[in-house]
């Protein structure tokens, strides 16, 4: 063996040993949610019914595309494929169409139990249903494929695209969409997780077949129907309270299915008590709940569950966000003195 060959082999082994722990770590980190990592902050004060845009979670596969950073010059929405009347629209043409405003809660499918990768906003834009009437997809076009400027795409069943409240939005909370949230155009279809709500849209293609999206190819759900979610926002974990009446509160959400009941339990789910529901800002918005309870000194553990119009009450079954959205009771522990 030559000296050079010997060194080469040593270097090879050294590399392998150095690389191994990192690879093992990376695999561990990737496993739980197959790499979906929404960016969010936990608010310190009360949750507001409409989430300020600056505090709205952000999630995307590779950040704002350079083209959008540059202001999306000469941007056009191309509508093509199996349609009778293909169409290109610039922002001016979109602004000239009748504008609709919808309050829709958006949740990342990677949002953990009790997580804040969920927000509520007022979106403004054009009705997707109306646009479909205008371009008239052919009778065998079953799918709408939506493509964004970062190469991300998703397939939406035409039936879902015809949701009466679905919109292509140019504005969020009264301002032009920020680059983070999809400028110049993004999709919002009530009832579906964020995975389907494509940002920086450039293309709608109508097709007889679907094209599995980025996350679907990694094993995530193809339907992305929102699961029931309920969260305790107050008290905070580990809080110390004084004895007396306390107003336990939080939010619940079930896409477009409407929350009909929220319950809390102080005894690990043996008994449940009904919370009071606030009036949601729309049929597609989260609801606020609260329960006023007298509390004496002690250690407490409180859990929450919710029911929607069609699915019955949330089960305690713990399910990871991967592959179809999280389930499990959110729990908060606190002390009363």
Ligand X SMILES: Nc1nc2c(c(=O)[nH]1)N[C@H]1C(S)=C(S)[C@@H](COP(=O)(O)O)O[C@H]1N2
Angstrom CA distances, 19 to 5, 12, 13, 25, 28, stand at 21, 11, 10, 10, 15
- By the rule CB under 6 A, 194 interacts with ligand X: yes
In the complex, minimum distance from the CB of residue 73 to Mo ion, in angstroms, rounded to a whole number: 28
Residue pair 141/169 in contact (Cβ under 8 Å)? The answer is no
In the complex, minimum distance from the CB of residue 319 to Mo ion, in angstroms, rounded to a whole number: 16
- 77 Cβ contact list (under 8 Å, min separation 6): 88, 89, 90, 94, 168, 185, 201, 202, 203, 204
- By the rule CB under 6 A, 200 interacts with ligand X: yes
Judged by beta carbon distances under 5 to 8 A according to partner kind, the member of ligand X, Mo ion, none in contact with residue 304 is none
Q: Number of residues in contact with ligand X, rule: CB under 6 A?
A: 20
Q: Classify burial at 52, counting beta carbons within 10 Å of its beta carbon; exposed 0-12, middle 13-18, buried 19 or more.
A: exposed
- By the rule CB under 6 A, 205 interacts with ligand X: no
- Contacts (CB under 6 A) with ligand X, residues 124-183: 148, 150, 152, 181-182
Considering only 18-26, 52-60, 73-81, 304-312, which stretch makes contact with ligand X by CB under 6 A?
Answer: 52-60
- By the rule CB under 5 A, 119 interacts with Mo ion: no
Q: Which is nearer to Mo ion, 108 or 254 (CB)?
A: 108
Q: Under DSSP, is residue 175 helix (H, G, I), strand (E, B) or coil?
A: strand
In the complex, minimum distance from the CB of residue 111 to Mo ion, in angstroms, rounded to a whole number: 8
Chain CA centroid to CA 166, Å: 15
- By the rule CB under 5 A, 194 interacts with Mo ion: yes
- By the rule CB under 5 A, 59 interacts with Mo ion: yes
Q: Provide φ and ψ at 115, rounded to 5°.
A: -80, 170
Q: Which run of H or of E encompasses 233?
A: strand 229-234
Binding footprint of ligand X on the chain (CB under 6 A): 38, 56-61, 106, 108, 148, 150, 152, 181-182, 194-195, 197-200
Binding footprint of Mo ion on the chain (CB under 5 A): 59, 108, 194
């Amino acid at each position: 063996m030559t000296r050079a060959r010997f060194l080469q082999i040593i270097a090879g082994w050294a590399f392998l040993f150095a690389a191994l722990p990192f690879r093992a770590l990376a695999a561990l980190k990737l496993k739980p949610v197959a790499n979906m990592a929404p960016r969010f902050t936990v608010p310190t004060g009360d949750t507001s019914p409409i989430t300020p845009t600056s505090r709205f979670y952000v999630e995307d596969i590779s950040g704002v595309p350079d083209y959008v950073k540059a202001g999306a010059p000469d941007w056009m929405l191309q509508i093509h494929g199996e349609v009778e009347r293909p169409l290109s629209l610039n922002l001016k043409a979109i602004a000239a169409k009748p504008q609709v405003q919808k309050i829709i809660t958006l949740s990342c499918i990677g949002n953990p139990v009790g997580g804040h990768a969920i927000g509520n906003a007022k979106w403004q834009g054009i009705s997707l249903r109306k646009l479909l009437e205008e371009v008239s997809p052919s009778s065998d076009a079953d799918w709408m494929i939506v493509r964004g400027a970062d190469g991300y795409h998703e397939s939406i069943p035409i039936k879902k695209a015809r949701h009466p409240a679905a919109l292509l939005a140019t504005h969020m909370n009264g301002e032009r969409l920020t680059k983070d949230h999809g400028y110049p155009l993004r999709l919002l279809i009530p009832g579906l997780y964020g995975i389907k709500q494509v940002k920086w849209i450039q293309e709608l293609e109508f097709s007889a077949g679907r094209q599995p999206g980025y996350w679907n190819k990694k094993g995530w759900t193809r339907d992305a129907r929102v699961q029931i979610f309920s969260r305790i926002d107050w008290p905070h974990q580990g809080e110390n309270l004084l004895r007396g009446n306390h107003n336990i509160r939080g939010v619940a959400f079930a896409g477009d299915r409407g929350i009909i009941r929220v319950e809390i339990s102080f005894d690990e789910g043996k008994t449940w008590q009904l919370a009071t529901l606030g009036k949601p800002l729309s049929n597609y918005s989260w609801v606020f709940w609260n329960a006023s309870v007298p509390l004496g000194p002690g250690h407490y553990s409180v859990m929450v569950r919710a029911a929607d119009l069609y699915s019955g009450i949330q089960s305690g079954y713990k399910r990871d966000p991967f592959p179809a959205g999280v389930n499990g009771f959110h729990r908060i522990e606190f002390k009363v003195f």
